Structure formats: C-alpha cells, structure tokens
C-alpha cells in the first residue's frame, strides 16, 4: 500500500493514501476492514482528500503498532467489495414499551367479558384494531411503500377477519402476548447493558458495550435467507387460504394458513443467540465483531499459520476438524475456496517492545460470503481462545437450528389442526407464543464477570 503519514499524535493517526482519492468503494472496503478490529475507537475515510484517520487508546498502543495494522493487514490487496447483505430493519424483531400494552390489555379484558356479557361489537372492533395498529401500519408500508408485502399482511388479515367474524379472543391475545414478549426482550437487553456498564473500565468491557449498542447480528446468510423466505411466502400463503375457502366455504378454516410462522420467531431467537455468542466470545478472549464473522468462524476448516504454534493447540484445533497449514499460495487458496472450504489467515501483529505478546488477528475467507474477509481478534496469547470461539460459534448455530424446529413443528401442527379439524384460532395463538417464549427465554445468557 502506498501511503504517507500526514499527522501523528498519540491516540490519533492520519494517513494520505493515493488509492483512496475519489474511490468510494475502496474507502468503504478499507473502513469496514479496519473497523472490524478491536483496537480502534474510530475509523474515518475521506475519499475526496484521500485520507484515513484512526483514533485509538494512546495508553495501550503505539503509533508504530497502529501503522503496522494498516500495512501488514494488506488492506491494499484485492479490494473488490460488495457490502454483505443485512436483514432490513423492517424485518427485525420489534421492541416496545410497557405503556404500549394498554390497548392490547384492554382488548383481552373486553374479549373475556364478551364471553359472559354483552359488549358492543363496534367497541371491541375499535379496541382490537388499535391494539393491532403496529401490524397494520407495517403491512401498509410494506405493501404500498416498499412494494413487497410482508408477513404483517397475513397477521393483519387474520386478526381483522376473525374480529369481523366475532372471534375476539384470538386476535386480542395475539396482540397482548406478542407485545409482552417484545417488552421482556427490551428489558432483558437494558439490564444486560447496565450490568456491563457497572463493571470497572477495561478493553473487554468496552467491546461488550459496543456489541450491545450496535447489535451487529443482522448480517448473516441465515438471517438474510429467513427474511427472503418470509417475503416470498406471503402471496403463496394468500393463494392457499383462498383455495381452501373456495373448496370448503369455511372462512375459519381458510384463515388458518395465515398463521404459518415463516420466521418472525426464528428472527427473534436468532438475534438473541448471536448476540449472546458474541458476548461469550469477549469473555473467552476472542472479539468477533458481527454475526457474519461468527457464522464464518463456525464453518472454519482450514487455518494458515504465520508462526509455529504448540502441539496442544494443534491437537485442539484438529479435534474441531480444523487443519493447519504453514503457508498457502494464491492458487491453493483459490482452489480451497472454490471447493467450499472456509479459510482463515492468522497474522501476529507485534506492538511495542514492552508488550508481553503480539496481537493475533484472523482474516476469515469463504466463497459463500461475498465481500471483505472478516477480521477476528484474539484477546489472549496463543490460539486456545480461537478454539473456544469456534466452539461457541458452532454451538450458537446449532441452537438456532434446534430452535427453528421447536418453533416450526408446533406451528405446523396447529395450522393443520385449523385447516382439517377446525381448531379454535386461540390454540394457534397460544401455541405460537408459548414456543416463541420458550425459545427466547431458554437460551442461556453469557455470565457477566465480576471484573473483566
């Protein structure tokens, strides 16, 4: 990489890089790669001026060390980059506040009263419509603004048509239970942040707070696939519902397919599991900056070492099915990736002479992940923290798969029950929310050490 040090004071380094001039793609590539490392407080790129500004903790790192990260990291190599797909915020789990449960709670109360006493249908309809307003608003936006109907269209139709039929309990309970789960997720997240915030200041504490603030868990292939499935399934589901109504003439049975869960429960579970795994990684001595990095780390099968390691570390990696190479040529690397292998290059960055050990940085490569190789930083000497990181990454993906089965199988049973046997729609609501609640609360949160 061709560069010139334009400004250098403790804690701040400014470089002029000719390749950056008027090159937005390269600037985004460089910023993404350096920002994924654990040491920088900020990374700013100015393509118009061809400059790169890095800020860092001056008491921990020398300017020479910071410069070596830019140069040794080979950020000027093949820099073709397409940003990794991320799940649209529109498709992510929603959060709310307890005061927003007023209408859902009132709708449940009135629906229960209506089972034993007369309650005006208009009043019940208005209250349930108000409680369902988040679904309705999102359904309208996805259909008329984005031009791609979301699963909120199915939920809105389901609640609206059941309400018109006089089936008030099911839509009322749906709004209340879903809202309660959203609030519990938000409260759990806030408590976890406060717990980390109360710890003594340390690099790991700062990394954990950064992860909790950014929640970088919506860039995985699995999440993107789930969101695409949800959107692509809307119109076929509506067609199935219409076909059942034509064949049976029974509106209740024809509405049952609208409660098929194409991923809202999975998306919620996935986000929590991935964030927990990233925080566990910080505790275990490995900084995994995103869900995409964790997904790539879980699939790692080939490790290229820049320096020799211990027999114990080699054996531990071998037990995980990771083979270690001392070097790799570009043709061999291309061949490995072409045949579906997942590769990581290990680099040891030496800081100042007083440092006890070098910082270890992994660059993860995979032909199934478009874009820039992800950088993972080991926070402890040696490769045992990498072994822990691979283990927790694979455990997290395994938990996501098992949770998918826990959500989809009961959901499929109650939907079939509604179609073939005319089960009450409240059964579907209670089943879907109970399984989602079990999945969301059944995942162990990472322990928060007394000192980190």
Give pLDDT tens digits for 76-89: 444 444 444 455 54
Full 3-state SS string of 40-95: EEEEEEECCCCEEEEEECCCCCCHHHHHHHHHHCCCCCCCCCCCCCCCCHHHCCCC
The mean of the pLDDT values for the chain is 81
Question: Per mean pLDDT, which range of 82-86, 150-154, 197-201, 273-277 is the poorest?
Answer: 82-86
Which of 190, 268, 187 lies closest to 226 in space, CA to CA? 268
Contacts of 25 (CB under 8 A, 6+ apart): 79, 81
| CB-based burial, 191-200: b 16+ in 10 Å, e otherwise | ebeeebeebe
pLDDT-based confidence at residue 369 (cuts at 50, 70, 90): very low
Judge contact between 33 and 375, C-beta under 8 A.
yes
To 10 degrees, what angle do helices 169-197 and 425-442 make? 10
What confidence tier does 4 reach under pLDDT thresholds 50, 70, 90? confident
Q: What is the reported pLDDT for 354?
A: 44
**pLDDT band with cut points at 50, 70 and 90 for residue 160:** very high
- Among 81, 30, 82, smallest CA distance to 52 is for 30
**Domain definitions of the chain by residue range:** 4-72, 100-219+229-274+396-442, 282-394
Percent of the chain with pLDDT over 70: 82
Which residues neighbour 176 within 8 Å (Cβ) at sequence distance 6 or greater? 101, 104, 105, 107, 108, 131
Q: Residue 303 in contact with residue 314, Cβ under 8 Å?
A: no
Position 365 confidence tier, pLDDT thresholds 50, 70, 90: low
Cβ(30)–Cβ(80) under 8 Å? no
Question: 4-72 — its CATH code?
Answer: 3.30.70.100
Pairing of strands 51-56, 359-366: unpaired
266 is written with which tokens? 């999975």
């Amino acid at each position: 990489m061709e560069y010139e040090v334009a400004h250098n004071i403790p804690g701040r380094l400014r470089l002029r890089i000719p390749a950056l001039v008027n090159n937005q793609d390269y600037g985004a590539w460089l910023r993404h790669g350096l920002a994924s490392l654990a040491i920088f407080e900020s990374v700013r790129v100015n393509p118009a001026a061809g400059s790169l500004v890095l800020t860092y903790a001056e008491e921990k790192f020398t300017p020479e060390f910071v410069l070596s990260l830019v140069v040794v990291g080979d950020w000027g190599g093949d820099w073709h980059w397409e940003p990794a797909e991320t799940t649209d915020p529109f498709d992510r789990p929603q959060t709310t506040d307890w005061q927003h449960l007023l209408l859902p709670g009132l709708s449940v109360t009135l629906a229960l009263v209506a089972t034993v006493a007369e309650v005006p249908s208009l009043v019940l309809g208005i209250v349930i419509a108000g409680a369902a307003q988040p679904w309705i608003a999102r359904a309208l936006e996805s259909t008329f603004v984005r031009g791609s109907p979301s699963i909120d269209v199915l939920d809105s139709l389901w609640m609206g048509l059941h309400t018109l039929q006089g089936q008030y309990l099911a839509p009322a309970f749906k709004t209340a239970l879903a809202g309660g789960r959203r609030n519990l997720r938000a409260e759990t997240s806030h408590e976890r942040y406060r717990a980390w915030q109360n710890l003594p200041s340390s690099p790991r504490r700062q990394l954990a707070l950064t992860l909790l603030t950014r929640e970088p868990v919506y860039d995985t292939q699995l999440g993107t696939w789930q969101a695409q499935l949800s959107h692509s399934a809307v119109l076929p589901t509506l067609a199935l519902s219409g076909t059942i109504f034509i064949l049976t003439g029974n509106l209740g049975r024809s509405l049952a397919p609208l409660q098929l869960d194409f991923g809202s429960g999975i998306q919620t579970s996935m986000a929590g599991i991935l964030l927990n795994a990233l925080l566990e990684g910080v505790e275990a001595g490995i900084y995994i900056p995103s869900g995409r990095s964790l997904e790539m780390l879980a699939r790692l099968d080939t490790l290229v070492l820049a320096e020799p390691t211990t027999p114990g570390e080699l054996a531990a990696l071998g037990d995980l099915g990771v083979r270690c190479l001392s070097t790799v040529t570009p043709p061999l690397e291309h061949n490995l990736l072409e045949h579906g292998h997942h590769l990581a290059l290990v680099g040891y960055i030496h800081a100042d002479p007083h440092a006890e050990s070098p910082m270890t940085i992994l660059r993860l490569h995979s032909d199934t992940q478009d874009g820039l190789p992800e950088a993972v930083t080991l926070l402890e000497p040696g490769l045992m923290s990498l072994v822990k990181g691979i283990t927790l990454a694979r455990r997290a993906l395994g938990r996501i798969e098992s949770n998918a089965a826990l959500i989809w199988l009961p959901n499929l049973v109650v939907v079939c029950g509604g179609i073939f046997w005319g089960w009450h729609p409240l059964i579907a609501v209670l089943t879907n929310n109970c399984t989602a609640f079990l999945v969301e609360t059944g995942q162990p949160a990472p322990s928060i050490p007394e000192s980190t």
